[in-house]
Amino acid sequence: NICRSPMAEFVMKHITRNAHLEDKIYISSAATSTEELGNDMHCGTRQKLKQMGIPFEKRAARQVTKADYTEYDYLIVMDENNLRNLKRIVGPDCDKKIHMLLDFTSERGLSIADPWYTGDFDETYSDISKGCAGLLEYLILIID
């Protein structure tokens, strides 16, 4: 998780902080694959976050675990491949915790393109920003 998920993590942390909800919403990211474990964010992700004025910190990619399903209320994925991999790791989604990020927008069911392959961090940022805004709106409605 060096491109999309850390971008979404830091965008979500930023907008959550701006909404003064950082004490109610815990945000983290993890990979569904093993390719980049231990690595920091892709330089394109860092550059885009910096360009948009979104604070971030150095981090090491980690893989999602079965325990994450118990620990978190929501597990958000970027595409169908992530969805399949996540379900293979955590098992059946009996509690309906797993969602695609764009499901919180009018683009329900669509994937967020991976800039590792496309090179387009602008498009990815745009989609992630929309998804995070929609997710935060949803969470605000259900927070006690």
- H or E segment to which residue 71 belongs: helix 66-71
Q: What pTM was estimated for this model as a whole?
A: 0.95
- Cβ atoms of 69 and 75 within 8 Å: the answer is yes
Among left, alpha and beta (phi > 0; psi -120 to 50; other), residue 3 is alpha
Amino acid occupying residue 8: A
Alpha carbons 48 and 124: distance in angstroms, whole number: 10
What string of pLDDT tens digits covers the 144 residues of the chain? 999 999 999 999 999 999 999 999 999 999 999 999 999 999 999 999 999 999 999 999 999 999 999 999 999 999 999 999 999 999 999 999 999 999 999 999 899 999 999 999 999 999 999 999 999 999 999 986
Domains and their CATH numbers in the chain? 4-138 (3.40.50.2300)
Place of tokens 């907008």: 15
